[in-house]
Structure 1
Amino acid sequence: MLPPPVQAGMNNYARSPQTIGQRPSTAGGDRAYLPGFLGAYGHQPQDTPPGAHYAAMHNRKALQHQIPAAGIVPGTSPFAVGLHNFLPRMEAYEQHRKLSIGTIHHAAHRAHQILQVPAGQQPRGGVPRHPVATAEPAGRAQKRSCPRMHPLAPFVTPTGGYACNVCRKRDIKRGIKLYSCRKCDYDVCADCYGGRMESEAKEREEREDGRLEEPRGSPVKGPSPSMLRKIQVLLDKRDTLCAHASAWFKKFDGDRDGVLSFTELVDLCARLNSDLQIPGVSDATVMQCLKKFDVDGDEMLNQKEFINLYFRLLLKVKAQYAPVKVRREFFLDKKPGRPDAHYEVRETLGQGTFGVAKRVLDKKTKETRVMKVINKKSSHMDPQELEQEIKNMKKMDHPHILKLFEYFEDYNNVYLILELCEGGELMKVIEDTYTKSRGKKSLTEGWIAGLYGQILEAVSYCHSHGIIHKDIKAENIMLLTKDKTSKNPFETPPHVVLIDFGLAEAFDPGRPFVSRHVAGTPYTMAPEVWNATLSRSNTFGLKCDVYSLGCVLFHLFCGKPPVIARSMKAQDWLKAISVGPDWKLLRHVSPHATQLVKKMMTYSDRLRPTCAQCLTSPWFEVAPNDNIRALGDHVMQGLVDHSRRSVFERTVLLEIATQVHAVSVQEINRIFRMLDTEKQGIISKQTCVTGLAKLGVPQNTAMRAVEAMDMDGDGRIDYTELVAGILCVYDSHLDDRLWKAFSKLDLNGDGKLDRHEIRKLLQCGEVSQMGLVPAQMEIDAIIQEMDTDRDGLIEYSEFKARFSPQRRQ
């Protein structure tokens, strides 16, 4: 209960809205009683400066220290008695409100300044005293404050403008918010008593809390290209940046005391954000910046501290609006020198029409790979076809498409370094199972379903990127792994990959997927492809690959192709295809499997399903379930670490990921397949976040990790980007890969990385005009973060420490 004099004053105040402060309100809590008891003790607006009100409402302890300093001693005046009697209620309010220490300290400091200023003078910082209506010259409207103006408005509004209480009351509850009613700044606003101002204030609050979307056209789109170039110039030259930051500092250091207070920093940030063409920030964010860059702990920023803040702000703006963008294919360019400098030849695996395949050993990582040597003259291969095949392989980024690691070229040959397929061709598996056993053995449906689903996903990925393979057959499906330990080699499906993109055709974005270039193997060619051989007006599209896949599945079930013509004439093949295969050969197969084969081999491509539709068949439920229910703590920590890595570290990991053998990261492969819900081999960021959340990753962690993985900024997560994101957790050969990456970066071979070498890596994406060239001060910031011995260079031990799974930021 309040003392009787205070309660009486409250009643008087409620009857007189012209009294200072605001009307009593249950929503206002203890703050609504402050004007009432001030009136009960005979206090009037002109008797006490606004700083006392501010301190009384926001800092109970400030009353105990600042009021006596101003000459007001407890018990010497009704006003002082009222203030000190009100302290217990303020203590309860303070515990409920829990304002930040910086806000309270700044409020008390400014209140103390205002209380010590003699009447008629302005305090430091240009904050005016409590405004009083003054007479204006004849012929001009009298400028008065709003009758419901908050008494602290001149204190919290740096421009000295008036703020009506309707606009202010929610802001006091939330902390210091620099809003004001523009109309009240110029004249008495009759609308203040209506609902318009309150609705506008409510709308601002909802928009700030994220409950209300910004109106169209209102969000700031970001810096213009010219502004980004200016930021680039500032980040390239430290002296220029320091001079520019110092100019901002002096401009907003209103009291010339050599430091920026919270209020001055709020004004500066508002103007700076407008100048940089970026969205504004809340006062709470400004307070966080003040605390972060306030090295000496005085809760203000000196010039050196502000320069550091300004530098970090420009770095963040450039990283958000002009990031360094890197793609996997940037690291797959033709390598200089000869392959024998990097690889040791072990044995010849085979020889074909277009070249020789050799097993080789990487001299640094000790990994076994395949080197395909293509002689430019004897292979009779069109140079354009070879170039197109390499280009297609560079674009393909899927765990079930044969990976190209790098390639070399000299006058006579082209050397392709590829994944080693230890299991051999799928055709050989079919022959060993059906031919050698004379039909006594057959492949199990579960094994076929697990293998076949991988191939369907690979072809679906090609189609989503506008690529028709045109030559899908059992010979072009390879097994990366071979189970040498199990007695039953068909117990678990192997990891398979699709190869040979020499006949593939890629379509540019926006171009119809229609082809007239006939290619393929006769017994798996679709009828529309055969029709295209009869007339140039006949065309075919992506679904020719679906027919070929149906032929492969039939071959897997019974050991023989579905249709064989009497001759190589197109008419004979079309007739055989129209008749169809002998479906009795599939009587031992489940109905779901038979139904899938028939749909895929439908004569009309319009009635034929897509690869993604085929993957929804219930037949795939017989495949072994390798889904992951939840990710371990070590994986979650790996995602957290990746989200905190610098762009240099993430680029290094992306380059390493391009050289990782798919078999060595089977756990990541399973995660990728689970996240790829649309089965197109690419995952949207939102789908990836949702998928990680289902695996137990916190929402915020998943969002930050996915944002960090998207290195090319296309809004999607590719396979190699996912591998790079969690490679440090799963790769047992990480140390060897890091050493190889470090050696590749160390251009001069001195065992250390300097500015030039780091810049060379980060510029790989800029050659394709994907972003601005990394600025010099960005490079310096990267070196400073990694350089523990402060010699300006990065040694291998410092480089390696940044990628340790146990590292914490």
Structure 2
Amino acid sequence: MAGYSEAKPAKVLAANDFVVGENVEVWSNSRNKWLPAVVHGVYLQATTTEGFDVPPGSVKVLSEAGVKWVLADSVAVVLRKVALEESFPSKEAKGAPGPSARLCKNNCGRAVQPGLTRGLKPYDTCCKRCAQSPGSNEHDENCGGRHPDRSPSVPSLDLQQSLRSELEAMLKEPAALEEIVKGAFARSGKPIERLSWEELREPLEALLQPFGVHLGVKDRFLEHLCQTHGQDEDGLMDRKGILVLCKTVLQDRYRSWFPEILPVSTANFVKQNRRPLEELYTMGKKLGEGSFGTVYEVDHKLSGERRVCKKIWKTKSDMTSQQILQEIGNMAMLDHPNVIKVFEYFDEPNFVSQIMEPCYGGELQDKVNVLRKTGKAPYDEAFVCDVMKQTLRALAFMHKKPFLHKDLKPQNIMLVDQDSSSIKVIDFGLAELFNPQQKFANFIGGTRLYMAPEVFRQQMTIKTDIWSAGVILYNLMTGDFPFLAQWPPPKGKDEAWWEEQTILKIKNEQPVRNPSLNKWSAQCNDLLLRMLDKDDALRPDATQCLEHPWFSGYSEIPPTLSVGVLQCVESYARMSELRKVTVFCKCLPRGSTSRATGSQGGRPVAGPDSSVFQGIFLLLAHQYEVQKSALVELRALFTHFDVRNQGCLSAQDLKGVLVKSGMGGVAAERVCHALDRRRDGQITWTEFTAAAMWYVVCRNNKAIDAAFATFDSDQDGRVTAKDLQMVLADVRGQEAWRKQMPHMFEEMEKQEISSLRRTARDTVRGFVQLFKKEATKYANLDQFRQYLQQNMDFRAGDALYAVT
């Protein structure tokens, strides 16, 4: 067992050395490293559980790779304890962890914070204060990830109430605004009349207090605002001027918190690359070959990413070139962690080459084949439950569009790793997107043994996929099919007879009561029968299937939305404020009212480049992966907080989670506003990961350089507004994108000039003038890097609380 000898524990461990719930490490062959895991079962005596015969001395563990059964002869080399130092203080100490929790590196004896840092690495300290003052025995409220009961620093938020809507109402209705202003001035003890600019600070603070923010205006600029909005000869502002000033302040806050979001779709990132395939990718070993093409392992030269290239023969395939491209388009539309991701394609003379993410665990069919041949499944019920949960989550997402797969079967479900229960749904060649008025699929397709009864009536709906998933569940339970005519056919009968008889069984008979079904739980069998209900009106949809109690019986350990990830998404949402000139951060010349108010005709306007910046990070999140362990944890978070089982996060639900973490109501709404790029109240997988991983990705020069190359399609070393628009602009917002693009280059100009002045203040003036003329036309690689790598502000680590 190569790879184990160096890490083998000094003591030879056996099953009786472990306890249920203990944190351990398990060796993964496919990943060639130790993975954190939790003990789910210890079996010292031979027993039968979940329908399987378990030999004595076995241990069942759960890691990011899925469920793993470790038999007695492998325990000593496959499992190991989490190392603890004998010098740690007594476990009776406050905040002390359990017997095998990971402990703070500063030897304080407390458990580390759960989840990921903003750099997407596991925490190694218990809290921020301990990290800053090692050995001082000082700890903050968030120590060990605990979420103590405390009074909120801002007024409590009714999650059904939108502070954004309240703010919009104030700006729209003069009477509502005046009423709110009256209340703010009353709370500060000031009248709404004849006040100097010094006296206005406290009422303005009171005006913004319900939104959980401070005014933050410099004295000189507050004076300028008062002068702009009119003062009497004695320097005092009257009631009318005060109301106008209050509206200006609220308009600016609205503009800052909720800038215009230009639509971006990850489907738009999947394009034909017109450069030669071998110029961009290093071809690796052949992974497989079929009648219509070959699959290769490839390395993306610029980013270093390992991917897969599926080369499809145009002449040998039973699909036309147009159909092959349609399949790529279908995959591009489905942004979900359990749907295979396609990056780009190459349309060559003899091939269409698709570049996709790799899956090294083989087809789910391989697992079924082992059961069929040996009579013993190479998995347990927890594995089956996890696979079905992921499959149904993918279907829930697809069906919401509504998008019908039509050919769901074990051959079209890939395992991510050999040791993993993580899956990806593949093969969308027959898939169909329904239009709003469409009731049934326009054309029939699929694989006979997985077809539902209504297929033969030419009435395919999303419930057809549920039937196919039910057949897959039957495959996993028995190694056989629920509806299958005699094969080979009896004497005198041919394959046409077999097909006809199989169709009759699907339409009219109940599933075969295979003896192997008795090895599985009653709840598993109950869900199976519901999914194979011949009446598609009674058959549950994917979301209803996921509500079945079978899944709650195998609930995974809840992941933690950590302080680090919360810091990232909150900072990501504030990019629009941090990257623009607002009424609160510049002291403008007198008379520049339009710039000071940040408005046009009394209406809020958008920040200049937040959509461009966030759109670039959406591309980076789609194209490039962070560490696999971090990606697994982000995927667990995404699915855990998808409480509606829709395959995406509800913005309303996420808002509630963020408020629970200690964010104010407006801050939580800002995050949801920034993440929801399609303005539909739903946050997709890539929208979520873009916010969580931007801090890591923006420090990865290889990823940034590869993104630059994606925009620089003509390879001239420059990215223009047109280049950016071609990749980022959604069809619905072409004109809005065209207007926004110049702002990004203005921002790059400011960054470049600032950098140059720091290094050569006295010699740069001439170059700056030249650059100002050119910067609005293009950005080179250095400017592009600098733009993405600007230092960002993060909320303090002890101001937020981990959420499970």
TM-score (norm 1): 0.58
1:797: how far off? Answer: 6.1
1:385: how far off? Answer: 2.3
Count residues with an aligned counterpart: 523
Q: 1:606 aligns with which of 513, 522, 537?
A: 537
* C-alpha spacing 1:768/1:775, structure 2 compared with 1 (3 Å): closer
Q: Which residue of 2 aligns with 1:459?
A: 395
Q: Which residue of 2 aligns with 1:597?
A: 528
Q: 1:520 aligns with which of 446, 453, 468?
A: 446
Letter in 2 for 1:547: W
The separation in 2 between residues aligned to 1:785 and 1:760, in whole angstroms, is 21
Mean Cα deviation higher: 417-426 or 782-791:
782-791
Q: Does 1:650 align with 2:609?
A: no
Alignment of 1:347-362 (within 5 A): 347-362=285-300
Q: Which residue of 2 aligns with 1:618?
A: 549
Alignment of 1:717-728 (within 5 A): 717-728=683-694
Q: Which residue of 1 aligns with 2:21?
A: none
1:661: how far off? Answer: 4.7
Letter in 1 for 2:417: T
* C-alpha spacing 1:322/1:262, structure 2 compared with 1 (3 Å): farther
Q: Which residue of 1 aligns with 2:349?
A: 411
Q: Which residue of 1 aligns with 2:141?
A: none
The separation in 1 between residues aligned to 2:716 and 2:226, in whole angstroms, is 43
Letter in 2 for 1:453: K
1:562: how far off? Answer: 1.8
Q: Does 1:443 align with 2:379?
A: yes
* Secondary structure in structure 2 of the residue aligned to 1:640: helix
Alignment of 1:271-670 (within 5 A): 281-282=246-247, 285=250, 316=255, 323-435=261-373, 438-483=374-419, 493-508=420-435, 510-515=436-441, 517-532=443-458, 539-566=459-486, 567-570=497-500, 572-575=502-505, 578-623=509-554, 625-629=556-560, 631-645=561-575, 646-661=610-625, 663=628, 665-670=631-636
Q: Is the 1:551–1:562 Cα contact (8 Å) retained in structure 2?
A: yes
* C-alpha spacing 1:379/1:285, structure 2 compared with 1 (3 Å): closer
Letter in 1 for 2:418: K
The separation in 2 between residues aligned to 1:745 and 1:399, in whole angstroms, is 25
CA shift digits 1:467-494 (9 cap, x unpaired): 11111111100011222xxxxxxxxx52
Letter in 2 for 1:527: P
Alignment of 1:52-71 (within 5 A): none
Q: 2:643 aligns with which of 658, 664, 677?
A: 677
* Secondary structure in structure 1 of the residue aligned to 2:340: coil
Q: Which residue of 2 aligns with 1:99?
A: none
The separation in 1 between residues aligned to 2:744 and 2:723, in whole angstroms, is 7
The sequence identity of aligned pairs, in percent, is 26
The separation in 2 between residues aligned to 1:176 and 1:784, in whole angstroms, is 44
Which has more helix, going by share of residues? 1
Letter in 2 for 1:598: L
The separation in 2 between residues aligned to 1:733 and 1:376, in whole angstroms, is 41
The separation in 1 between residues aligned to 2:790 and 2:517, in whole angstroms, is 51
The separation in 2 between residues aligned to 1:729 and 1:593, in whole angstroms, is 42
Letter in 2 for 1:562: P
Alignment of 1:21-170 (within 5 A): none
* Secondary structure in structure 2 of the residue aligned to 1:789: helix
* Secondary structure in structure 2 of the residue aligned to 1:627: coil
* C-alpha spacing 1:511/1:387, structure 2 compared with 1 (3 Å): farther
* C-alpha spacing 1:168/1:323, structure 2 compared with 1 (3 Å): closer
Q: Is the 1:442–1:558 Cα contact (8 Å) retained in structure 2?
A: no
* Secondary structure in structure 1 of the residue aligned to 2:646: coil
* Secondary structure in structure 1 of the residue aligned to 2:738: coil
Question: 5+ unaligned residues in a row in structure 1: which ranges?
Answer: 1-166, 181-205, 212-247, 271-279, 290-312, 484-492, 533-538
The separation in 2 between residues aligned to 1:777 and 1:806, in whole angstroms, is 22
The separation in 1 between residues aligned to 2:571 and 2:210, in whole angstroms, is 28
Q: Is the 2:368–2:479 Cα contact (8 Å) retained in structure 1?
A: yes
CA shift digits 1:682-725 (9 cap, x unpaired): 22321221233445655443322221112233332111100101
* Secondary structure in structure 1 of the residue aligned to 2:658: helix
CA shift digits 1:399-455 (9 cap, x unpaired): 0001011112133321110111100101112223442xx214452101111121001
* Secondary structure in structure 1 of the residue aligned to 2:346: strand
CA shift digits 1:116-169 (9 cap, x unpaired): xxxxxxxxxxxxxxxxxxxxxxxxxxxxxxxxxxxxxxxxxxxxxxxxxxx989
CA shift digits 1:627-663 (9 cap, x unpaired): 224x332212212220122333211110111113595
Q: 1:705 aligns with which of 663, 667, 671?
A: 671
CA shift digits 1:41-80 (9 cap, x unpaired): xxxxxxxxxxxxxxxxxxxxxxxxxxxxxxxxxxxxxxxx
The separation in 1 between residues aligned to 2:448 and 2:240, in whole angstroms, is 73
1:738: how far off? Answer: 1.9
Letter in 1 for 2:404: I
RMSD of the TM alignment (CA)?
3.9
TM-score (norm 2): 0.58
RCO comparison, higher one (Cα < 8 Å, 6+): 2
Letter in 1 for 2:567: Q
Q: Is the 2:363–2:415 Cα contact (8 Å) retained in structure 1?
A: yes
* C-alpha spacing 1:553/1:177, structure 2 compared with 1 (3 Å): farther
Q: Which residue of 2 aligns with 1:91?
A: none
Letter in 2 for 1:722: F
Q: Is the 2:698–2:788 Cα contact (8 Å) retained in structure 1?
A: no
Q: 1:783 aligns with which of 733, 748, 751?
A: 748
Which has more strand, going by share of residues? 2
* C-alpha spacing 1:636/1:382, structure 2 compared with 1 (3 Å): same
The separation in 2 between residues aligned to 1:621 and 1:505, in whole angstroms, is 32
The separation in 2 between residues aligned to 1:625 and 1:644, in whole angstroms, is 33
Q: Which residue of 2 aligns with 1:20?
A: none
1:671: how far off? Answer: 1.3
Q: Is the 2:307–2:358 Cα contact (8 Å) retained in structure 1?
A: yes
Q: Is the 1:176–1:283 Cα contact (8 Å) retained in structure 2?
A: no
The separation in 2 between residues aligned to 1:170 and 1:704, in whole angstroms, is 23
The separation in 1 between residues aligned to 2:615 and 2:191, in whole angstroms, is 41
The separation in 2 between residues aligned to 1:171 and 1:528, in whole angstroms, is 67
* C-alpha spacing 1:698/1:263, structure 2 compared with 1 (3 Å): closer
Compare CA radii of gyration and give the structure with the larger one: 1
Q: Is the 1:634–1:729 Cα contact (8 Å) retained in structure 2?
A: no
1:733: how far off? Answer: 8.7
The separation in 1 between residues aligned to 2:390 and 2:538, in whole angstroms, is 23
Q: Is the 1:728–1:803 Cα contact (8 Å) retained in structure 2?
A: no
* C-alpha spacing 1:512/1:284, structure 2 compared with 1 (3 Å): closer
